[in-house]
Chains A and B, each alone.
Chain A
Amino acid sequence: MTLSVKHLLGIKELQTEDIERIFQTADNFKQVINRPIKKVPSLRDTTVANVFFENSTRTRISFELAEKRLSADVVNFSASGSSVSKGETLVDTVNNILAMKVDMVVMRHSASGAPWFLANHIDASIINAGDGINEHPTQALLDAYSIKETLGSVKGKRVVLIGDIMHSRVALSNIFCLTKLGAEVMVAGPPTLIPKHIQSLGVKVEYDVKKALQWCEVANVLRIQLERQHKPLFSTLREYALYYGVNKQMLDSLEKEIVIMHPGPINRGVEINSDVADSKQSIILDQVENGVAIRMAIIYLLSGKREME
Chain B
Amino acid sequence: MKTLLDRNQLNITLQRLAHQLVENHLNFRDTAIIGIQPRGIWLSERIAKMVKDITGQQNIDYGQLDITFYRDDVHQSEIHIPAATNIDFSIEGRNVVLIDDVLHTGRTIRAAMDALLAYGRPKNVELLVLIDRRFSRELPIQPDYVGQTVDTIITQKIKVYWAEKDEKDEVVLIDQ
Contact = CB atoms under 8 A, between A and B. Distances in A.
B81 interface: yes
Interface string A269-309: 00000000000000000000000000000001101111010
Interface in B77-93: 77-82, 84-85
Contact of B75 (A1, A35, A39, A305): A305
A41 B82 CA distance: 14
A24 B69 contact: no
Contacts of A32: 69, 118
A1 B80 CA distance: 7
Interface residues of B, number: 20
Interface string B96-123: 0000000000000000001000111000
A25 B82 CA distance: 6
Contacts of B79: 1-2, 300-301, 303-305
Interface string A1-37: 1100000000000000000010011011001100111
A31 B85 contact: yes
B139 interface: no
B118 to A, nearest CB: 4
A304 B85 contact: no
B76 interface: yes
B12 to A, nearest CB: 37
A280 to B, nearest CB: 26
B74 interface: yes
Contacts of A41: 69-70, 114
B115 to A, nearest CB: 8
A47 to B, nearest CB: 13
A304 B66 contact: no
Interface string B115-141: 000111000000000000000000000
B69 A35 contact: no
A305 B80 CA distance: 10
Contacts of B119: 35, 37
B78 A28 contact: no
Given A37-B118, A40-B69, A41-B70, A21 B81 contact: yes
A143 B74 CA distance: 28
A259 interface: no
A25 B84 CA distance: 9
B75 A45 contact: yes
The interface centre, meaning the residue of B70, B74, B81, B119 with most chain A CB atoms within 10 A of its CB, is: B74
A32 B68 CA distance: 12
B118 A42 contact: no
Contacts of A21: 81
Contacts of B78: 1-2, 304-305
A24 B66 CA distance: 13
Contacts of B85: 28, 31
A43 interface: yes
Contacts of B77: 305
Given A21-B81, A40-B118, A28 B69 contact: yes
Interface string B34-71: 00000000000000000000000000000000101111
A70 to B, nearest CB: 8
Given A37-B118, A306-B75, A308-B76, A1 B81 contact: yes
A46 B75 CA distance: 10
Contacts of B75: 45-46, 303-306
Contacts of A39: 118
A300 B84 CA distance: 16
Contact of B76 (A25, A37, A305): A305
Interface of B: 66, 68-71, 74-82, 84-85, 114, 118-120
9 contacts: A28-B68, A28-B69, A28-B84, A35-B118, A37-B118, A43-B74, A303-B79, A305-B75, A305-B77
Given A28-B69, A42-B68, A300-B79, 16 more contacts: A1-B78, A1-B81, A2-B78, A2-B81, A21-B81, A25-B81, A28-B85, A35-B118, A35-B119, A36-B120, A37-B119, A43-B74, A304-B78, A305-B79, A306-B75, A308-B76
Interface of A: 1-2, 21, 24-25, 27-28, 31-32, 35-37, 39-43, 45-46, 300-301, 303-306, 308
CB-based closest 5 A-B pairs: A40-B69, A306-B75, A28-B82, A37-B118, A2-B79
